[in-house]
Each structure stands twice: as structure tokens, then as C-alpha cells.
Amino acid sequence: MKLQLVYPSWPKLEKQTEFHLPPHGPVVFAATLPDGIEITFIDENVQPFETDALADLICISVMLTCQLPRAFDIADHYRSMGKPVLFGGIAVMLHADEVAAHADSVFLGEAEGRMEQVLKDFTRGRLQPTYNYMNNFPDISLVGTARRQILNHDHYNYRGTQMLDLVHASRGCRFNCFPCCNGFLGGRQFRPRPVKKVIEEMEAIPNNRLFVVDNSLAHDKDWLIELFTAMKPLKKKWVSHPLMDNDLVLKLAAEAGCWYVYQAVFDTSETIKNRIQRLHDHGIGVEGTILLGTDDHDETNIRNLVEFLTRIKLDMAEFTILTPFPKSPIRKQFTKQGRILSNNWLDYTCGKAVFQPKNMTPEKLEYLYNWAWDTFYAEGGYQTKMGELFFKVIKQEILDGTYRRYNPGKNRRFKKAMV
């Protein structure tokens, strides 16, 4: 059986430097497929789309809401040729009804241990319109090493610097932050993978640079200690979402190669300032993720917030406009209050005001968003600040003896040998 796996393109944030990380959803999905399936993979964000007339089944993996319009075009194209289309991924779970109109089959939930049956149904001509495994999570120990061999790593470099490979050590999140859909998607229970399996996966990744994409590494102190202790000998360099704010955890994370984290910065409090200082004390850089347009934001406090970020010497900042994604608590609230202004998913990039802010017009919020980017990066652009962080990593890699000069052709050969 031949399967084409497609990862559709999406509109990028205008203010953000465009670089591409290897996608995670498609390689995790590919690992759940039984042996003997031939896969061709297209990441439309880095390569042109090509119709595969020989594919038996088209699988479309969709992570973002703003990927959906393009995903629907691709699905409609294939279905007009008589090719069956199966959809899966985070955004598919959020927009299941809409997706169903463009699909032969919609897979909802986590795929481990389930694809054998789906493909059996397909070969018998009995593909179901929906496979619904929402809130029916597979045993976390079934999550295996992602099948990165389907990727062409030559696509994932920025000006000659090898980008990070994505890997995950856990699923689920017990928090229920107001703009987030994770409670709906992965459940409110934290589900750590066995450390041994995570280490096996990390060891198998030829790239020395990783992005540990877990929702949050702030759930279980004992598991974090075990994980970071086991990661240390690998000498990988990695970034992650927030880390538990605990001295021992931060120390072990830094020793295990953590070089920067994404950290939500939502106010100008001493708590935030001290948290960032503690990360810096451990030699960990911080990229603040800053959501603009919450109900307590007016023009003055957005301006104060940006001034605060500069004062506390935040390394990098990613400004986004609050976006009421389906199934998030904030969408429920805004819908009730009649404040949703657009349901055009192409606007859901986090760079547009698609709702009515409480204390300003949508236009003013978009103006302040652009102003925040320009002001924070006034003395050195995103590339310069990112370059400074990468330079630190490269220096450490040289000291560790793990530095490898990026060599495009080599990655292509690696891919060929492994697929």
C-alpha cells in the first residue's frame, strides 16, 4: 500500500523571521503505521506540493486552524480524482464537523495502537467516516520513536544552521489556561512517557539540537529529575516550553543541555521578573511568549509590559494577539458575550484581532501588536538575538565535542538510506 502524507502550508506571522522546524505530528503519526506501508511525505511549508497519482490513500495532517483552508483545497483536489482522504491532527479534533465535509474519513484522538484497524478497514473497502478516540487515550508506553526518516532534513535549516528536531516526553496538561485548547485535546491528566523510551528516542536522533515540545515541563518533579538526569549523558542541546520553577529542576535541566525556554509573560510582577532571573542564573535563555489583548490590557499596560521586557533583559519575545480558538475556554466566553468578529480561519494566525477587545478597538490592538514587535527588537532584530543564542550553543557544542558542521547533502543521503 502506498500512502501520501501531506502537511499543508499556512500563512506566517509577518513580524516573525520565517524559518521552519521539522513537523512533529506527521512523524509521530507515521510511527503508528504498520510495517510494509510505503510513505511519501510532503511538507508544503518547505517544498512545492506534488500530486501523487500512484498513492492509494491520502493522509492530511493538520496542526493549526489556519492550515485548514489549504488542507481542504488539497483534499478536494484528491477526492475529485477519486482518491480517498483521511484527516488527522490537532486542528482536525478542533474542527471535526467542518473537516468531515472534505474527508472520506476523520481520525480524532491519538493514533497509537489504532492505525492497523483503520488500514484494515481501508483495504476491505470499509473505511469509517469517523474514528473517534477523543478522551480515550492509548497507553502512553505505546508511544514509540517518531518516524523522522520520512523527513528531508535539508529543508530545515536557517541560513546554514541546522534547525531543531522535535520530540515529546509527555502528553496532557493538568492546567486549564484560558486561551488554550489542550484540556480538550490531550486531557487534563499529565501522562509522562517512560523515561527509558524517551531516552531511546532522543539517542536515535542524529541531530544534536532538540525542541522538547511537551505542553509544559512543570508537572511532576520526580519524573523531571529522572528525565533530566538521564538526558545529561546524551549532551543534546534543547529548548522547551515552561520548566518547573524549582532550583534543583532548573539546575538539572541546564546540566542536561537546556539552553532556552519559552515562558509566558503576562504581567510586570516581581514573580515574573524573579522567574526569568532564576532561569538566567542557570544559564538558560528565555523567549517570552506574550499574549496581547486580554481584558485587563489597555494601551498603557501594553506599553508598560514591553518596557518591562526590555528592562529585565528578556532574550527574545514572541508577541501574539489573543485568539479564541475553538474549544478554548476564552472562545466560550467571547461567544457568550458576542465578541467573535471573524470565523475566517486564515485570520487565526495570532497576528490579527478576530474578537472585540474590551479596552480598545481591534485596529488599535493590531497597531499595538506591531508596535510591540518593532519596539522590543529596535536595537537588534529577531535574527540578531536568535543568532546570539545559537552562538552560545555552538560554543558549548564545540566544548562538548558534539558540534557538527551543517552539511546539506549528508542529510539527503541519510534519508535515502533509512526510508
Q: Is 411 in the site for ligand SF4 (CB under 6 A)?
A: no
Give me the least distance between CB of 219 and ligand SF4, in Å please.
Answer: 9
Closer residue to ligand SF4 in complex, CB, 137/367: 137
Closer residue to ligand SF4 in complex, CB, 175/390: 175
Give me the least distance between CB of 173 and ligand SF4, in Å please.
Answer: 3
Closer residue to ligand SF4 in complex, CB, 215/349: 215
Closer residue to ligand SF4 in complex, CB, 186/357: 186
Give me the least distance between CB of 296 and ligand SF4, in Å please.
Answer: 17
Give me the least distance between CB of 57 and ligand SF4, in Å please.
Answer: 32
- Residues 325-344 within binding reach of ligand SF4 (CB under 6 A): none
Around 386, how many Cα atoms within 13 Å sit in the side-chain half-sphere? 14
Applying CB under 6 A, what is the total number of residues that bind ligand SF4? 8
Give me the least distance between CB of 196 and ligand SF4, in Å please.
Answer: 25
- Residues 143-202 within binding reach of ligand SF4 (CB under 6 A): 173, 175-177, 180, 182
Give me the least distance between CB of 122 and ligand SF4, in Å please.
Answer: 33
Question: Binding string, 212-251, against ligand SF4, x = CB under 6 A?
Answer: ---xx-----------------------------------
Closer residue to ligand SF4 in complex, CB, 1/264: 264
- Residues 94-153 within binding reach of ligand SF4 (CB under 6 A): none
Cα angle: 156, vertex 76, 114; to 5 degrees: 65
Q: Which residues bind ligand SF4 (CB under 6 A)?
A: 173, 175-177, 180, 182, 215-216
